A = this chain, B = another copy of it.
């Protein structure tokens, strides 16, 4: 059984996946690219993945058969699994719990498309709808506190050898530390100013315009003022909203459009860079939340997407210190991205 272990000093949780334990030799092999194999995410190869959890598919087509547009399957490399017993306990001064959770793959196209930005607008709309569907579904499980939705593209960003465009989600029984930090930071600001810090940031960015990358009906993309990485780009809805899954049907085409545009711009300017893409949304709210708390939390957090290109030669001691050195001012990065011909 994989374990969740808590760092006793900093308080972050680590997933130790004891079942698919990697030995030293596995890492040596993983330096090389895998050879060509039939793609398990292509239409027709449904038998190469675990049975599907969800799909958008043509009427009359069957589960785990061709005819789908978006298909969601459990990860073959499960780091967390569905279960009842969290079993949180102490091991001397340490804390552990069972690695209960879900790890799913959202296959974004039946065709072998490798770039998210090559997907048609309608297709991206369905990807977003699948995100919402999965989050809504996992929210029902009382064991889960958070769903992290992300995309690793390129080996330097930690992607596997499967290049077929896909997103991943991990539902966790604890709130990730970064999420807590964001919530704490934005709550402090809200308590002081009675305004959402993200709303204030959006206002300043739209006013200043130096760091704007793209604007599409109700959404804005910009390089944040304190960007950790060169060409780091965030996408936010202009209208205040803390939960991604409350996105309205009529907002989907605009989000889909700005996503495609931002990825096209990054690909053009940086020559197809590896990247990580992470959805930051508020944790699930539960009935046990303190009185008054529920109301506040919808006002002080603002969901957004963070895209972090992973460019070689960057990111050294940052792991150890939380201190980042960014050699490209976000104002310049945004100018390149904004002015690229796509």
| Interface residues, chain A, with chain B CB atoms under 8 Å away | 5-18, 20-24, 27-28, 30-31, 79, 91-94, 148, 150, 152, 155, 157-160, 168, 170, 172, 176-179, 181-182, 185-186, 189, 197-198, 200-201, 204, 208, 224-228, 230-231, 269-271, 273, 276, 278, 280, 306, 308, 311-330, 332, 336
Q: Which of B9, B13, B150, B231 contacts A317 (CB 8 A)?
A: B150
Residues of B within 8 A of A93 (CB): 197, 200-201, 204
Q: How far is the CB of A205 from chain B (nearest CB, A)?
A: 9
Could you show 30 A-B contacts with beta carbons less than 8 Å apart? A7-B225, A8-B226, A9-B189, A10-B178, A10-B181, A12-B324, A14-B226, A14-B323, A15-B324, A16-B226, A16-B227, A21-B328, A22-B230, A22-B327, A23-B328, A23-B336, A24-B271, A27-B273, A31-B312, A94-B204, A148-B321, A158-B316, A170-B317, A177-B322, A178-B323, A179-B322, A181-B322, A228-B319, A276-B317, A308-B320
Q: How far is the CB of A302 from chain B (nearest CB, A)?
A: 10
Q: How far is the CB of A192 from chain B (nearest CB, A)?
A: 11
B323 touches A12 (CB 8 A): yes
A321 touches B230 (CB 8 A): no
Task: Provide the bound-state CA to CA distance between A299 and B100, in Å.
Answer: 37
Given contacts A17-B326, A226-B12, contact A23 B332 (CB under 8 A): yes
What is the total number of copies of this protein in its complex?
2
The 10 A-B residue pairs with the shortest CB-CB distance, nearest first, are A158-B316, A278-B320, A178-B322, A177-B322, A152-B316, A150-B317, A176-B323, A7-B226, A5-B226, A9-B185
Task: Provide the bound-state CA to CA distance between A322 and B231, in Å.
Answer: 20
A155 touches B270 (CB 8 A): no
